[in-house]
Chain A
């Protein structure tokens, strides 16, 4: 074969599949293949090359180029030419799709956008933005369908829910409650696709418009027409899905031609590489078979007695744990012995499954007399209403109750479930310190599951393999998305499935210990540890946990059922306390059972919550999706009287008109309503008013406002409050405001509470980001100069210099007067907030209400940022005040960290203040991605715990699900209640 007849091979080794094309001299595809590699990358590549050699190449020299993220190490190791995959796509597109403007390519774990015209740019998802193909697979698993079926479902969707688009884990926390609330799978399917679209656009386009000839490449966009449709709709285009859309990377590789080789030689080199691959390994879980047996024998002892339900007659108690991914039921006798259990995936809708279980219980075992029932878990309220369950209890309490049955003096309980990690310390018989996983590290158990099936194993087999690993892969302890790429790297370096399995188990444990609990030693947690949750049934996880802590723990044989078991025990206790007749559905009711759900939009306030109204037999009704109790009670709360957040919002929004209001005739200046403007507005309003300007603001944040600015966000990992600013500026521009004032402020006011009085870098300089990334700002006057309000004396002069650049007529004399007014207005505002805070505290005390200090930053008042958490807390009958209403009571005091930010100094002061207030508890709101709070949270926790207070932290992001927040708050209230009970007992 002469050179001009030579074949050209391109391989695309992705995170889950290998794609191969062979081109002949006329650039025709003579061979192509697409298959999953199941992590056996080198091996699969060898097989593929053998096939090629045998069927196509026949020993002739060829050019061979590897591309793809998972192929890099292999290509390097075997000295085979490698081409970066995005660049390969570009090469192929230039060649076969001339005239293309933009390529959107989604792969197993990557999302890419290529802008080919004008300034050529290639964008790939960052390390945080999650995988898209893998994400869709994971979501499909959650819905219990194939991705193809999900696509069919999406076609029939009638509405779209908001699902956080930033990362798979977030999305999952949004989807789960939708499933639990009974939202239609069709709608969820489409919502997932829309989330993928938003993620791609927000994360990658970064302000550059996607228009012209758009081409869709890669697996998901090839196989899922509805996903393409969602992109088309969002972008207002009609994109092309070309023939061979799966093979563009491979095509690019095939057209990148270096020195010809013989496949035989390349294969030899690959084999040599395969033999020498290495990765970071951890010590094995078991050094010997004997060690494993001793371990197994020790844990076999922690078993609950089991009775034969058909042989038993008498009182029984039912516990249900409607978890996020699984449904657990337990029926016990009066001594806590187990009669019946059930553990299954909830398939997205627990209601029919529970009906089935109840039917079985009541029909098959008529001699078991259910005296009382209790339910816990994500689906608690729905299930309680659906079946007339007597009691509902928060998960933490259920787990504690169950753990005590195995170890009465337990001092630490950790539960790793499908999606969440819950753990708490026990002090003096009271739940003392709750840790729930933050949204970014959840999904551990279900991640193991997803990974097992991706590699073609059942979870049980997968776990068993891990026990045998000699060299577990070291995978780190961050988020699941990162682990995907760590696994990829390890696979590249020759890790076997058992090493990956063991490595994943160890990584789950490390995640729980170092990320959620942040423990450094077993002593810190206590020595009496009960572990539970389905994930601990995995011996590899259990072993890794014991190894990591160096302590033997108790794992009940019903580790996966502990929530349900605890609920049953709770029902038993309640029966002993209250007696009476159960309200559980009767057999007749169950037979006639019908569950209807319908979606409506609540119109009772500006939140416009999307409600799901469930109706059940017997007139039982349950409304989900609401953020306050107005739709259920029909009553409006008198918000500002007991909720300082609401009061602040009212104060600030009534201060000046929004940009869409009718101008009052004076020259107009607009300010974006976000970040520090939430506190500076009274200042600037008085300032500009006195100078003869009309100050207007953008409206309160909303989802729509956020989306309108999202295309110009340059950093996808900055905090959500900062990202919102793009929408606010957009709103001002859309309203025709031609002068926007949003100054940079390195420094804030010095409140004498800290060593310095900085703003955080994002608050200080975000105007710079807006100026550099929102092209439309070039068309208006955008004043983002650096101002120093901390220097009262110099301020008028410096401010005059700034203003004269834009308004030459402004006089120093007038600015002085305006400054006086501004400082006075700011002081008056802060005083007013403090007075209102005092009033709320007084009233709460008079009415005997607990008080929560919802501590954060001024901009956490934004309802789109706090997602109505203030109202949620108020809905528990609790008064809500802010940190800045209390911090003035305190003087500067030593802290364990450098106390140099004004907003954060208030946090420390407020934490110290409430230490002396028995009826106050602090809940800290933390924006995801806030780097400063990595420091403040630990410090606030230390201050509070030093005084015997419970610390509660809530991480917030784009996320709209309040389920997890509720658990945390209810756990806090339950813990406070218990603490008070305990104190009462001690005092008595």
Chain B
């Protein structure tokens, strides 16, 4: 169902000519792994790491300024890269995800193409990474083996991110956690290359080894403020999108938890089932989605079980459990953007001891008016300990304002007990006013 007119398609020929595919960055660990999977399939890729004010400038220049911030950044990052002179523009392609939901995010690819046209570079092909059959490109095929590796990459990514976040703040020897993450990215890539590490058995063994090795890192037992990070998927993960929120929280002596990408994948699959349950639909489609969901759930279970073996780590909750948490809070039909999952993750974090939550969202993010800001009051009614601060990100929202609000949330979290009451302070003589 290709509906756009006359855009450049990424052809087999381009692939054979060795085009370089630029990948925008989002979740560091996951994307590194997925990129390596693409490389295994003969794609030359670059995971974009360019940041800085020029990325935003390029975004502002080529994307409607009222569009969501992630679009502005992702496209800005790509335009900045294309203008950097580092790439042969006639042998470069771009890739971007397309979810096909009712949110503006499904339009990123079109906005990117518009931007390329504005910049006179419409000859650069853009590959849509989607599972909804929105667009096809002969040069970039999502074959089943590639998909399996990519999904495995996401599971491993979740595991590494989850454990690293719980280890790094407490490590006694600085840098050990990140070194271990790096080691595992290499190790897993090597396994993928040999066709290993994707079946249930090897995956279980890998995940268990990963958990063992993280648990073996020497850690202190000090108590740190535990913070959960939720929100729109891009600004939640991408340091470019959230002014390096994780670094700020590390500076503030916090331990943070960021729910994984598998939950989002399960959510998007589950949406199709819910749609059919709510409005009726094709039983065959229902069966296929149930199968896919079953497959993802099995992966998730292995991951959770591996982490559960180590009581010193907080294991992620299962998707089904997370889903059950919003049963009487918000309907399962609210599926656009992060939908009910965002609300559910806030509750799940609260339940898991990460009740201090930064809810990140692009300024004016439509679904988050509903599932983020719109649900905070209800969550606090049910879980009074939830201490949630919604933070808006956009090109001009300044870090000082954002950090100020997060600090306030942390002050409440740390609940410094106020001393006993006094009468109003009297003015002593000699005061200067």
List A residues at the B interface (Cβ < 8 Å).
23-24, 27-34, 69-70, 72-73, 83-87, 90-91, 94-98, 119-120, 122, 124, 126-128, 206-207, 242-244, 251, 255-256, 280, 474-479, 482-483, 485-486, 488-489, 492, 510, 514-515, 518, 520, 714-715, 717-718, 722, 744, 746-747, 755-756, 758-762, 764-766, 768-769, 772-773, 784-788, 790-791, 793-794, 797-798, 894-901, 929, 931-935, 937-938
Contacts and interface: CB of A to CB of B under 8 A. Distances in A.
B161 to A, nearest CB: 28
B431 A30 contact: yes
B377 A28 contact: no
A525 to B, nearest CB: 13
Contact of A794 (B102, B111, B279, B420): B279
B251 to A, nearest CB: 9
Contacts of A24: 428
B103 interface: yes
B49 interface: no
B331 interface: yes
Given A32-B432, A127-B394, A518-B64, A714 B376 contact: yes
Interface in B400-433: 400-405, 407-408, 410-412, 416, 418-428, 430-433
Which of B364, B375, B402, B423 is most buried by chain A, counting CB atoms within 10 A of its CB? B364
Interface in B347-389: 363-367, 369-371, 373-378, 380, 384
24 contacts: A28-B428, A31-B430, A31-B432, A83-B411, A95-B421, A96-B422, A122-B412, A127-B401, A255-B419, A485-B398, A717-B392, A746-B102, A758-B102, A758-B336, A760-B102, A760-B366, A761-B103, A768-B371, A772-B377, A793-B280, A896-B113, A898-B106, A932-B104, A934-B68
Contacts of B421: 94-96, 98
B317 interface: no
B404 A761 contact: no
B60 interface: yes
A932 B366 contact: yes
A29 B428 contact: yes
B370 A520 contact: no
Contacts of A120: 412
A314 to B, nearest CB: 51
B374 A95 contact: no
Interface of B: 1, 3-5, 53, 56, 60-62, 64-68, 100, 102-104, 106-107, 109-111, 113-114, 118-119, 275, 278-281, 329-331, 333-337, 363-367, 369-371, 373-378, 380, 384, 390, 392, 394-405, 407-408, 410-412, 416, 418-428, 430-433
Contacts, number: 278
Given A86-B408, A761-B103, A769-B374, A791 B60 contact: no
A967 B422 CA distance: 59
Nearest to B427: A29
B396 A901 contact: no
Contacts of B62: 520
Given A207-B377, A715-B374, A899-B3, A96 B423 contact: yes
A894 B113 CA distance: 14
Contacts of A34: 433
A764 B340 CA distance: 13
A931 B113 contact: no
B53 to A, nearest CB: 6
A794 B402 CA distance: 47
Nearest to B110: A897
B426 A280 contact: no
B373 A715 contact: yes
B366 A244 contact: no
B102 A482 contact: no
Given A717-B364, A758-B102, A797 B280 contact: yes
Nearest to B109: A898
Nearest to B56: A476
A900 B106 contact: yes
Nearest to B2: A894
Nearest to A83: B411
Contact of A761 (B281, B367, B396): B367
B369 A768 contact: no
B287 to A, nearest CB: 17
B401 A69 contact: yes
B366 A931 contact: yes
Given A32-B431, A206-B377, A798-B280, 19 more contacts: A27-B425, A84-B407, A127-B398, A128-B392, A244-B427, A251-B425, A476-B56, A485-B400, A488-B398, A492-B400, A520-B118, A715-B373, A746-B102, A761-B103, A772-B330, A772-B377, A786-B331, A931-B68, A938-B114
A714 B374 contact: yes
A788 B275 CA distance: 9
Given A91-B416, A797-B280, A894-B4, A514 B60 contact: yes
A508 B357 CA distance: 36
In the A-B complex, the 6 residue pairs with the closest CB atoms: A794-B280, A788-B279, A786-B333, A98-B421, A478-B396, A94-B418
A23 B428 CA distance: 10
B64 A938 contact: yes
Contact of B111 (A242, A475, A483, A935): A935
A761 B428 contact: no
A878 to B, nearest CB: 28
A70 B404 CA distance: 10
A896 B114 contact: yes
A894 B110 CA distance: 12
Given A32-B431, A755-B1, A762 B369 contact: yes
B317 to A, nearest CB: 22
A168 to B, nearest CB: 15
B397 A482 contact: yes
Nearest to A20: B432
B404 A69 contact: yes
Contact of B107 (A206, A786, A935): A935
Given A773-B374, A784-B331, A935 B424 contact: no
A717 B369 contact: yes
Contacts of B418: 90-91, 94-95
A764 B102 contact: yes
Contacts of B333: 744, 746, 786
A122 B330 CA distance: 25
A97 B424 contact: yes
A45 B212 CA distance: 52
B432 A762 contact: no
B380 A119 contact: yes
Nearest to A514: B60
A761 B105 CA distance: 12
A108 to B, nearest CB: 13
B425 A23 contact: yes
Contacts of A207: 377
B60 A477 contact: yes
B107 A280 contact: no
Nearest to A790: B279
Contacts of A935: 64, 67, 104, 107, 111
A278 to B, nearest CB: 13
A715 B403 CA distance: 20
A70 B416 CA distance: 23
Nearest to A766: B370
Contact of A768 (B334, B392, B405): B334
A482 B399 CA distance: 11
B110 A896 contact: yes
A714 B336 contact: no
Contacts of B374: 714-715, 768-769, 772-773
A806 to B, nearest CB: 15
B370 A87 contact: no
A931 B330 contact: no
A242 B424 contact: yes
Contacts of A786: 278-279, 331, 333
A476 B106 CA distance: 27
B174 to A, nearest CB: 20
Contacts of A475: 396
Nearest to A120: B412
Nearest to A28: B428
